[in-house]
Amino acid sequence: MAQIDIQNVQKFFGQHQVLKDLNLTIEDGEFVVMLGQSGGGKTTALRAIAGLETVTSGKILINGEEVQNRKAADRDIAFVFQSFSLYPHMTVRENIAFPLRAVRMNAADRDRAVKAVAETLQIAQHLDRKPSALSGGDMQRVAIGRALVRRPQALLMDEPLGVLDAKLREQMRAEIKRLHIARGSTSVYVTHDQIEAMSLADRIVILHDGVLQQVGAPDQVYLQPTNLFVAKFVGSPVMNVSDVRIDGNNVRLNGAEAGFRFPDETLSTVRHAEAGLTLGVRPEAVLLAHHQGEGYVPVVTTNIEPLGSHDIVDVQLGGTVLRSRTASGFVSGEGQQVWVRLDPAQAHFFDKATGLNMRGAN
């Protein structure tokens, strides 16, 4: 197991810069998830750690040793590909044993190691099959088994669940977590799925346009996004975002007549923004009521998504649609008159020019 340090890493593909001065330390035994849109640089960062991609400048250290100029084979790292990348001409057993053959382990030890890892992953009954005869979930189990079998310094996974269907993803997600807890291997996991990131990560690393946006524990990233990109990328449904104007203690959404009253301590840090402000509130901070109350503004519901455990209700306020998370059946239909309030404690103000969260670290 190992600690991985990424120091000032830059990566260009021709003129295009895909990693911009990336700095990151992944602790021994930590599960780090790199989250971002495709093209954000997360896969490139992962491949750079593995040695499948060179870096233009900067250092990558594994256990304090510089490895950026070492071949992939000499970094003692395992990689799980989105496409699984199992060798079709080999059986499952041969696939899992493949990395052990590279280090010329003797046949008896090899067999023992393959069996042990196959049992952990519950694929022991498939060992003599060809990969093409397996289900998607089992293929990915084999791919993970092949990665784990030689007990690498770190396990890198590039969207390993990306091609599985929703049910299987959920199941495999739990399995990967269980495996991580059992083996305690340093793991770096790339995904664009924020739910996967939230559920697996010790820490989430958010990359956008090759720039590191935020590093933090899942709840930290969710509750205290450093900028608008992170705020919008993490969380489902997406955070409500609207340009706002502040008059005294009144926060008016873009084009709306009525405003919301916010307490002084919330507004003190944002009052003097020059470029204008963008307000972000998550659906659970948009509070609906059936009756007029202190601080509530009347609105009309426009759409309801019943999700079983809760509903997502859209309300129209001026030019903005606010999405609210309510108890199931709280609102019975579209076109209903309700009252809305925003929870000031869960409201985020972003500088319109820089996108930074004005409340800083709260």
Contact footprint for other proteins (CB under 8 A): 50-52, 71-73, 75, 77-79, 81-89, 98-99, 102-103, 130-132, 136, 139, 146, 150, 163
Q: Which is nearer to other proteins, 50 or 331 (CB)?
A: 50
In whole angstroms, give the CA distance from residue 154 to residue 144: 12
Least distance between other proteins and beta carbon 79 (Å): 4
Q: How many residues does the chain have?
A: 362
Give me the torsion for CA of 49, 50, 52, 56, rounded to 10°.
20
Least distance between other proteins and beta carbon 52 (Å): 5
Query: How far from chain centre, in Å, is Cα 155?
Result: 17
CB 19 within 8 A of CB 48: yes
Structure tokens at 257: 């007549």
Least distance between other proteins and beta carbon 36 (Å): 21
Least distance between other proteins and beta carbon 72 (Å): 4
CB 218 within 8 A of CB 201: yes
Q: Which is nearer to other proteins, 32 or 77 (CB)?
A: 77
In whole angstroms, give the CA distance from residue 163 to residue 295: 47
Residue type, 257: E
Diameter over CA atoms, the chain: 77
Q: Which is nearer to other proteins, 160 or 218 (CB)?
A: 160
Q: Which is nearer to other proteins, 132 or 362 (CB)?
A: 132
Least distance between other proteins and beta carbon 116 (Å): 18
CB 188 within 8 A of CB 49: yes
Least distance between other proteins and beta carbon 95 (Å): 9
Report helix, strand or coil for 160: coil
Q: Which residue is associated with the tokens 């926060």?
A: 251
Structure tokens at 127: 């060992």
Structure tokens at 271: 């009052």
Q: Which is nearer to other proteins, 127 or 304 (CB)?
A: 127
Least distance between other proteins and beta carbon 132 (Å): 4
Query: How far from chain centre, in Å, is Cα 258?
Result: 36
Structure tokens at 305: 């998504």
In whole angstroms, give the CA distance from residue 161 to residue 224: 27
Q: Which is nearer to other proteins, 89 or 291 (CB)?
A: 89
In whole angstroms, give the CA distance from residue 152 to residue 76: 5
| Backbone Cα Rg of the chain | 24
Q: Which is nearer to other proteins, 129 or 359 (CB)?
A: 129
Q: Which is nearer to other proteins, 196 or 311 (CB)?
A: 196
Q: Which is nearer to other proteins, 72 or 195 (CB)?
A: 72
Structure tokens at 210: 């090759």
In whole angstroms, give the CA distance from residue 18 to residue 210: 5
Least distance between other proteins and beta carbon 27 (Å): 22
Least distance between other proteins and beta carbon 292 (Å): 55
